[in-house]
């Protein structure tokens, strides 16, 4: 560990190299990364230290939050500093887009309505299970359910509505998200990098930190060999090059990076 930082020395070295690369993008998942996981998703808030570090970092660096949450929900819970770009709906929505994301075709609208209806039917009568509606997807939440109930309804959702033609399914921590359009943080992150690079100097490198299995898609589009930095938060298998233990460690990482970029 690096003395006084709480971060592995090798990660600190990677941050120092990243900070020196000119125009860079720092992209972060929200839940489990900036904010501790809570039973009620609407109650999630970034740690004060993380919010303070973001406010410093955005003055020198492109910063984005990349989340599975719908854009308005992400904005309400994250309460980000001015200048932070928001990418919601697993890459399908961006605050850089005039309308927040692409519109659904009539066929996709019909498919989404069917997904909501079938997930609602699965949630009915199962305590602790609820369905969240997003502009392009529907999400089955099971965090507050008994473990046997959560396992059963998850498998039913994936084998039922999740297997319908045209449905894009993502399985995360205690959630199943079924989209009427292609979902994926990797595609959203790649598109964001292209959008930012088109506005001026190209983005030389990207740092992405995430805690969920859905974040592996974003890790996969980045290349540590080319200067990108990938950070897994918490336990579980991951392809990320680096790992930290908690949102508190992420706040330390962001503080360290903000200081390096201010030099």
The CATH number for 19's domain is 3.40.50.1000
Q: Give the tens place of pLDDT for each residue, 80-102.
A: 999 999 999 888 889 988 545 55
Strand partners, 24: 205
Q: Give the tens place of pLDDT for each residue, 149-158.
A: 999 999 999 9
Longest dimension (CA), the chain: 57
Query: Coil, strand or helix: which one is 258?
Result: helix
The residues assigned a catalytic role are: 29
Average pLDDT over residues 207-216: 95
Average pLDDT over residues 17-27: 97
What's the pTM?
0.81
Co-location of 84 and 203 in the same domain: yes
- The whole-number pLDDT of residue 10 equals 95
Distance CA 40, CA 78 (A): 14
Average pLDDT over residues 211-224: 95
Following CA atoms 79, 83, 84, 89 in sequence, which dihedral angle do they give, to the nearest 10 degrees? Answer: 90
- The whole-number pLDDT of residue 98 equals 58
Q: Does 3 have pLDDT greater than 80?
A: no
| Mean pLDDT rounded to a whole number for the chain | 93
Total tally of structural domains belonging to the chain: 2
Q: Per the domain annotation, does 156 fall within a domain?
A: yes
- The whole-number pLDDT of residue 90 equals 86
Co-location of 131 and 232 in the same domain: no
- The whole-number pLDDT of residue 101 equals 53
4 band by pLDDT with thresholds 50, 70 and 90? very low
Q: Does 44 have pLDDT greater than 60?
A: yes
Distance CA 116, CA 133 (A): 7
pLDDT > 70: percent of the chain: 96
115 band by pLDDT with thresholds 50, 70 and 90? very high
Q: Per the domain annotation, does 153 fall within a domain?
A: yes
Co-location of 153 and 207 in the same domain: no
Residue 35 Cα distances to 21, 29, 45, angstroms: 28, 9, 5
- The whole-number pLDDT of residue 102 equals 58
Q: Give the tens place of pLDDT for each residue, 162-199.
A: 999 999 999 988 999 999 988 889 989 998 999 999 98
Last residue of a domain, one of 179, 210, 238: 179
Co-location of 19 and 92 in the same domain: yes
Co-location of 75 and 31 in the same domain: yes
Query: What is the span of the domain harbouring residue 46?
Result: 9-98+185-262
CATH of the domain at 174: 3.30.70.1020
In the 3-class helix/strand/coil scheme, how is 4-52 assigned residue by residue?
Answer: CCCCCHHHHHHHHHHHCCCCEEEEECCECCCECCCCCHHHCCCCHHHHH
Co-location of 146 and 26 in the same domain: no
Co-location of 170 and 201 in the same domain: no
Average pLDDT over residues 190-213: 94
Average pLDDT over residues 120-134: 96
- The whole-number pLDDT of residue 194 equals 92
């Amino acid at each position: 560990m690096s003395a006084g930082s709480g971060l592995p020395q090798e990660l600190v070295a990677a941050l120092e190299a990243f900070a020196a690369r000119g125009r860079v993008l720092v992209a972060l998942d929200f839940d489990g990364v900036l904010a501790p996981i809570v039973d009620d998703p609407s109650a999630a808030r970034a740690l004060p230290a993380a919010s303070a570090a973001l406010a410093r970092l955005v003055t020198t660096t492109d910063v984005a939050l990349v989340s599975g949450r719908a854009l308005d929900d992400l904005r309400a819970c994250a309460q980000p500093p001015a200048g932070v770009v928001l990418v919601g709906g697993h890459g399908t929505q961006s605050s850089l887009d005039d309308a927040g994301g692409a519109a659904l075709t009539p066929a996709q609208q019909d498919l989404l309505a069917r997904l909501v209806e079938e997930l609602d039917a699965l949630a009915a009568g199962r305590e602790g299970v609820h369905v969240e509606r997003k502009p392009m997807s529907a999400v089955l939440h099971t965090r507050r359910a008994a473990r046997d109930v959560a396992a059963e309804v998850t498998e039913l959702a994936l084998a039922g509505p999740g297997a319908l033609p045209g449905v894009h399914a993502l399985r995360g921590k205690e959630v199943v998200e079924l989209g009427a359009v292609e979902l994926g943080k990797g595609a959203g992150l790649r598109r964001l990098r292209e959008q930012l690079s088109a506005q001026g100097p190209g983005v030389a490198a990207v740092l992405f930190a995430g805690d969920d299995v859905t974040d592996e898609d974003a890790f996969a589009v980045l290349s540590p060999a080319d200067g990108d930095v990938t950070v897994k938060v918490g336990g579980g298998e991951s392809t990320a090059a680096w790992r930290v233990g908690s949102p508190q460690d992420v706040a330390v990482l962001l503080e360290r990076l903000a200081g390096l970029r201010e030099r």
